[in-house]
Amino acid sequence: MIREFKPRDFKKILQIEKTSFRDPWSKWEFLYHCRHSNFLVYEVDGEVVGYIISNSNGHISNIAVDPEYRRNKIGTKLVQEIVGKTKNALVEVRKSNKVAQEFYKSLRFREMYFIPRYYGNEDALVMALSNFDKNNKKSNYKHRKD
Ligand X SMILES: CC(C)(COP(=O)(O)OP(=O)(O)OC[C@H]1O[C@@H](n2cnc3c(N)ncnc32)[C@H](O)[C@@H]1OP(=O)(O)O)[C@@H](O)C(=O)NCCC(=O)NCCS
Q: Which residues bind ligand X (CB under 6 A)?
A: 20, 63-65, 70-76, 91, 93, 97, 99-100, 102-103, 106, 144, 146
Q: Which residue number, 19 or 131, has a Cβ lying nearer to ligand X?
A: 19
CB 40 within 8 A of CB 78: yes
Q: Which residue number, 56 or 76, has a Cβ lying nearer to ligand X?
A: 76
Cβ density class 15-53: b for 16+ within 10 Å, e for less:
ebbeebbeebbeeebbeebbeebbbbbbeeeeebbbbbb
For the bound state, the minimum distance from the C-beta of residue 45 to ligand X, rounded and expressed in Å, comes to 16
For the bound state, the minimum distance from the C-beta of residue 134 to ligand X, rounded and expressed in Å, comes to 19
Q: Which residue number is nearest to ligand X in terms of Cβ? A: 75
Shortest CA distance to 44 belongs to which of 11, 8, 3? 3
Q: Which residue number, 19 or 136, has a Cβ lying nearer to ligand X?
A: 19
CA-CA distances (angstroms) from residue 118 to 3, 12, 35, 47, 113?
A: 31, 28, 22, 33, 12
For the bound state, the minimum distance from the C-beta of residue 72 to ligand X, rounded and expressed in Å, comes to 5
For the bound state, the minimum distance from the C-beta of residue 101 to ligand X, rounded and expressed in Å, comes to 9
